[in-house]
């Protein structure tokens, strides 16, 4: 029995051993060359990403890792094909598994995809004051799945990137200056031209109010209590709230100094 097995082994080596040996050598060569090519490709991709300077380092590492995994799977399928293993069913299995995972993780992957686009398009960066995903505040962190925004009342909000990317994004920090809008109501009987003149003279003296564009004071509409003025000053985005509050203080001070009465709501007479 032992001699028979030996004879069968020798016969197999004589007929198919050389072919199998060549396949092993081809597989080893394919693995070595393939790994070298993959390493070279990943280095080129990493250099290209870093050269743009528009993608965060964390996202760059994720992208390089994903490309590396895909290329290694292709390399393994190529080696299996050398040994005559049918990789069509294996590839279909991988595709099915990927579809199942994609369906189960659809929401998370949508946030990831949106995060990739946000990293590439850069509609805002850390430190910008934005209104995004229904939240207004300062961007604390731009992650792969969500953006952390700290609102003015010191509350931390983590908003999914897909919600942000599918909605309107307002970035108040993109331009170096913002318009600060305030309102001032003047009582009936007050000289409206005098009120406008006083405010126009006082606004340039407010700290951090820009001279160009110049401040504006105009009548917005007329109400039952009296004319409503819009009082506008321009300031650097970092000084927005300071200028906003100081404009309101100036309105109160100037109207008080002029002795303007407080606008009173007209009394509605009832019919008896």
pLDDT of 32 strictly over 80:
yes
Q: Which residue matches tokens 């203080």? A: 249
Percent of the chain with pLDDT over 90: 34
Q: Is the peptide bond before 127 cis (omega within 30 degrees of 0)?
A: no
All CATH 3.30.70.100 domain ranges of the chain, comma separated, are 177-258
Nearest to 133 by CA among 121, 151, 119: 151
The 10 Å Cβ neighbour count of residue 249 is 11
Beta bridge partners of 229: 184, 219
pLDDT of 56 strictly over 90:
no
177-258 domain in CATH 3.30.70.100? yes
pLDDT of 2 strictly over 50:
no
123-171 domain in CATH 2.30.30.60? yes
pLDDT of 14 strictly over 70:
no
- Close Cβ partners of 77 (under 8 Å, ≥ 6 residues apart): 87, 90, 91
pLDDT at residue 5 in the model: 66
Where is pLDDT greater, at 18 or 21? 21
Q: What angle do CA 25, 26, 28 make, to 5 degrees?
A: 65
pLDDT digits (tens, 9 = 90+) for 226-268: 899 999 999 998 899 999 999 999 999 999 999 998 887 766 5
Beta-strand relationship, 216-222 and 177-185: unpaired
- Total residue count of the chain as it appears in this document: 272
Averaged confidence pLDDT in the chain:
81
Q: How far apart are the C-alpha atoms of 35 and 32, rounded to whole Å?
A: 5
pLDDT at residue 170 in the model: 92
2-104 domain in CATH 1.10.3470? no
pLDDT digits (tens, 9 = 90+) for 192-206: 999 999 999 999 999
Q: How far apart are the C-alpha atoms of 151 and 254, rounded to whole Å?
A: 32
pLDDT digits (tens, 9 = 90+) for 93-113: 666 666 655 555 556 677 777
Q: How far apart are the C-alpha atoms of 84 and 233, rounded to whole Å?
A: 76
pLDDT of 272 strictly over 50:
no
Report the predicted TM-score, pTM, of the whole model to 2 decimal places. 0.58
Let me know if 115 is exposed, middle or buried by CB neighbors in 10 A (0-12, 13-18, 19+): buried
Q: How far apart are the C-alpha atoms of 74 and 149, rounded to whole Å?
A: 40
pLDDT digits (tens, 9 = 90+) for 170-181: 999 888 889 999
CB 111 within 8 A of CB 160: yes
Where is pLDDT greater, at 20 or 190? 190
All CATH 2.30.30.60 domain ranges of the chain, comma separated, are 123-171
All CATH 1.10.287 domain ranges of the chain, comma separated, are 2-104
pLDDT digits (tens, 9 = 90+) for 118-158: 877 888 888 899 999 999 999 998 877 888 999 988 899 99
Report helix angle 106-121 to 57-82, nearest 10: 120
């Amino acid at each position: 029995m032992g001699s028979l097995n030996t004879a069968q082994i020798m016969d197999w080596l004589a007929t198919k051993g050389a072919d199998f040996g060549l396949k092993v050598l081809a597989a080893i060569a394919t693995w070595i060359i393939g790994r070298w090519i993959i390493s070279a490709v990943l280095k080129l991709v990493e250099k290209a990403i870093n050269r743009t300077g528009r993608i965060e380092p964390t996202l760059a590492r994720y992208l390089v890792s994903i490309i590396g995994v895909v290329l290694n799977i292709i390399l393994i399928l190529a080696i299996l094909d050398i040994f005559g293993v049918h990789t069509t069913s294996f590839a279909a299995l991988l595709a099915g598994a990927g579809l199942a995972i994609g369906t189960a993780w659809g929401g998370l992957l949508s946030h990831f995809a949106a995060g990739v686009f946000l990293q590439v398009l850069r509609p805002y960066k850390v430190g910008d004051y934005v209104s995004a995903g229904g939240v207004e505040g300062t961007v604390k962190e731009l992650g792969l799945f969500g953006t952390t925004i700290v609102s003015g009342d010191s509350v931390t909000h983590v908003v999914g990137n897909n919600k942000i990317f599918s909605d309107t994004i307002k970035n108040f920090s993109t331009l170096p200056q913002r318009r600060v809008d305030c309102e001032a109501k003047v009582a009936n009987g007050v000289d409206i031209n005098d009120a406008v003149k006083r405010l126009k003279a006082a606004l340039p003296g407010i700290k951090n109010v820009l001279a160009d564009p110049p401040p504006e004071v105009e009548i917005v509409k007329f109400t039952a209590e009296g004319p409503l003025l819009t009082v506008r000053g321009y300031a650097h985005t970092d000084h927005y709230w300071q200028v906003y509050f100081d404009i309101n203080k100036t309105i109160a001070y100037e109207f008080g100094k002029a002795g303007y009465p407080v606008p009173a709501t007209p009394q509605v007479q009832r019919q008896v």
